[in-house]
Structure 1
Amino acid sequence: MDQKSLSLLDKIKLVTEKALEKKALHPILTKYQILEQDHIPFLIRMVENLERKDNEKKKQKQQQKKSNTFFNPFLPYDRDLFIDNIGDNHVAILNKFNVFDHHLLIVTREFESQESALNFDDFSALWTVLSNINGLGFYNSGKLSGASQPHKHLQLVPYPLAQEIETIPINNLVLSYKNTDEIVTLKELPFLHSIEFFENNEDKSCEELGQITVEKYERLLERLNIKIKDNKPSQNYNLLITKEWIMMIPRSQEKLNSISINSLGFAGGFLVKNEEQLNLIKNSNLLEILAQVAIKSN
């Protein structure tokens, strides 16, 4: 079958299969458990082997030292991980070191900083993917929010994240606030955040959804007092986007007790590297951990 005629999801499955055969894709094996706290079924994954990813990072650092420039895995991106062109300014590629199956990166063709503001093109590209795949879109806006690469890229992980969780752990809590206010703050979450809901988006084009989303994004920035100067937000933040809502969380630090937290943490998913970190998570209030790396609400 001609690959051009395949659906986006079928392309992802086909490229994944070939990338695994060529050893271009390096899934990070994990085992997981569900930890229920505050009526949220947190998904805790523990890595079985991070050696390959750590070795790759060491190689990148060595290359940077030799060339006196940062190594950019997206320029050029690995052709074996390429899924499709997304509009004029983005490409979709597989995440080389994926914890979740079919984890996508939506990357700008030309270099743009991960710390620059998101725009209409970025959101239109995300909706091009999100309209075809039911999942969680997210953005780590800089180092403090868990970004590991300086080249602008949004991400998407398809549902389900685990067999026991239909979408993401916080989804039911967020949806319980639908039709309450235009911009919502959840009283259950002890950290600064804001949420807006999408209405009747089934019949809208990706461009229309991109425009709606950039307007919501700008309102959330304003509500959270994050200023834009020279196209750069004054603070790192995490952004979660589903087909039903968008949520922004300002960040104050990247990790707590060596546990790195990115957007997936605020969706209710934690990744730990060893038993020590797992025990720390089990003996902690997970919402308080999130509040420590975000900004505690009054």
Structure 2
Amino acid sequence: MATLREAIERQTALALACGALHPIETAHTFIDDGGMRFYVRVAGNLARKEAARLTPQTVVASGSQPPRDPFLPYEPDLFVGDLTPTHVALLNKFNVIDQHLLIVTRRYEPQEAVLDAADFTALIAALREIDGLAFYNGGAAAGASQPHKHLQMVPLPLAGEGPHVTPLEALLGSAQTVHGARPIAIVPGLAFRHAFARLDLGRGKGITDDAVHVALDCYRALLDAAGVPAIDVGGVAHQGAPYNLLVTRQWMLVVPRTAECVEGISVNSLGFAGSFFVRNAAQLQTLTQLGPMTALERVSVAR
């Protein structure tokens, strides 16, 4: 039986060959700021992605007609495999990072719904096979571009070279516990509101109820500590504020959000891990002058 990584590699080759996958070519540079070395990708050509936004299937014909859900049905050529009975793994059609995986609910669920045990079962299944960074953009203000619930995962390292960690790891060693009942911590180098916790999702091959409950309980505690309430919407728990979630095998981080962009630069979960994507040289200059840490502060809640 093929591993998840083998399935991703095989499907990537097939999707490239048939034209279903459209990687965005980038150059890269580094910006040192606030004790982190941020990895910044600069787009080389966005023409195909821009054109795709204008295709008939993505255009809303009238104000009463919602935009098409790209995951119902999903493109067969982007299908990597079944992760669990409730989630499938798909390739990100317009990927900036190689082997960028989408973890998508089989049935429609709103992106603003609070993550549940089924979501964490699928997330852990992916992380057990691939040492990566999983993340969730909770709402449009947090960088979510689709309303259908989906987590995402990219392999480590984010820079494609160097230590097998995220740039954020440079600050995590100084994390200070603030909630004794559960080891919730803050990271002194992060000037915006957040909640951080260490955990171990890498042991064992099977997905046990205990592992799922530990991750789910940690997530709920982080939301609470970060000031992201759960609200009832039609009998389903939804987030009461936008936020980003980052998860590796070793830790979990929640960051509440106030805005999706700063100076026209979109910021999603990857920004808080230390990875930015800018569309052109002008945006790179803006980010360099502003500073990545200041950019993160301006789209987040003050601590």
Give the TM-score normalised by the residue count of structure 2.
0.92
Q: Is the 8 A contact 2:127 2:201 kept in 1?
A: no
- Correspondence for 1:189: 190
Query: Residue type of the partner of 1:266?
Result: F
C-alpha displacement of 1:148: 0.3
Query: Residue type of the partner of 1:47?
Result: A
* CA shift in 2, pair 1:61/1:259, >3 Å: farther
Query: Residue type of the partner of 2:54?
Result: K
C-alpha displacement of 1:107: 0.2
- Matches of 1:178 and 1:77 in 2, distance apart? 43
Find the partner of 1:34 among 15, 20, 30: 30
- Matches of 1:244 and 1:199 in 2, distance apart? 5
Find the partner of 1:17 among 3, 7, 13: 13
Gaps of 5+ in 1: none
Map of 1:193-272 to 2, 5 A cutoff?
A: 193-199=194-200, 201-203=202-204, 205-207=206-208, 208-230=210-232, 231-272=237-278
- Matches of 1:200 and 1:145 in 2, distance apart? 25
- Matches of 2:293 and 2:59 in 1, distance apart? 39
- Matches of 2:116 and 2:31 in 1, distance apart? 36
- Correspondence for 2:164: 166
Query: Residue type of the partner of 1:187?
Result: P
Deviation larger for 56-65 or 184-193? 56-65
* CA shift in 2, pair 1:243/1:200, >3 Å: closer
- Correspondence for 1:136: 133
Query: Residue type of the partner of 1:203?
Result: G
SS state of the match for residue 58, structure 1? coil
Q: Is the 8 A contact 2:128 2:201 kept in 1?
A: no
Q: Is the 8 A contact 2:176 2:188 kept in 1?
A: no
Find the partner of 1:108 among 73, 95, 105: 105
After superposing on structure 2, the runs of 4+ consecutive aligned residues of structure 1 that deviate more than 6 Å are 178-181
SS state of the match for residue 107, structure 1? strand
- Deviations, residues 191-246 of structure 1 (Å, cap 9, x unaligned): 00000110475137424322111101111111122211121111010000000000
- Deviations, residues 242-269 of structure 1 (Å, cap 9, x unaligned): 0000000000011011000000000011
C-alpha displacement of 1:38: 2.1
Q: Is the 8 A contact 2:142 2:269 kept in 1?
A: yes
Query: Residue type of the partner of 2:41?
Result: R
- Matches of 1:276 and 1:201 in 2, distance apart? 40
- Matches of 2:5 and 2:190 in 1, distance apart? 34
* CA shift in 2, pair 1:223/1:60, >3 Å: farther
Query: Residue type of the partner of 1:18?
Result: L
- Matches of 2:10 and 2:177 in 1, distance apart? 40
Q: Does 1:54 align with 2:55?
A: no
Query: Residue type of the partner of 1:106?
Result: I
Map of 1:277-296 to 2, 5 A cutoff?
A: 277-296=283-302
Query: Residue type of the partner of 2:187?
Result: L
* CA shift in 2, pair 1:168/1:88, >3 Å: same
SS state of the match for residue 12, structure 1? helix
SS state of the match for residue 126, structure 2? helix
SS state of the match for residue 184, structure 1? strand
Q: Is the 8 A contact 2:177 2:185 kept in 1?
A: no
SS state of the match for residue 77, structure 2? helix
* CA shift in 2, pair 1:62/1:111, >3 Å: closer
Give the TM-score normalised by the residue count of structure 1.
0.93
What is the alpha-carbon root mean square deviation over aligned residues?
Answer: 1.8
- Matches of 2:290 and 2:15 in 1, distance apart? 38
Query: Residue type of the partner of 2:191?
Result: P
- Matches of 1:149 and 1:60 in 2, distance apart? 17
Q: Is the 8 A contact 1:29 1:47 kept in 2?
A: yes
Give identity over the alignment, percent.
38
Q: Does 1:177 align with 2:175?
A: yes
C-alpha displacement of 1:63: 3.3
* CA shift in 2, pair 1:159/1:44, >3 Å: same
